[in-house]
Amino acid sequence: MLYYCPILLSIFSHYRRCPRCKRAQHFKGKKKGDTVHCKKCGHEFVLR
């Protein structure tokens, strides 16, 4: 069970929630401080 933890963390580290619609989205290749757009509502926000 413990060997799954790093795999799950690497998967979920690329997912962030939109502050407006609360939808979790995948932003691979983006870092903290990058500006992204929500795919559902179009809201622009900065990754934390």
- The pLDDT score that the predictor gives to residue 32 is 86
Q: Residue 16 in 3-state DSSP?
A: strand
- The pLDDT score that the predictor gives to residue 10 is 64
Tokens 């929630």 correspond to: 17
Check whether 44 has a pLDDT greater than 80.
yes
Domain membership of residue 12 as a residue range:
2-46
Long-range contacts of 14-22 (CB under 8 A, 24+ apart): 16/47, 16/48, 18/43, 18/45, 19/43, 19/45, 20/45
> What are the tokens at 9?
């963390």
- Please count the structural domains in the chain: 1
- The pLDDT score that the predictor gives to residue 48 is 82
Tens digits of residue pLDDT in 1-31: 556 676 666 667 678 889 999 998 888 888 8
Compare 28 and 33 and report the one with higher pLDDT: 33
Helix, strand and coil in the chain, % to nearest 5:
25, 25, 50
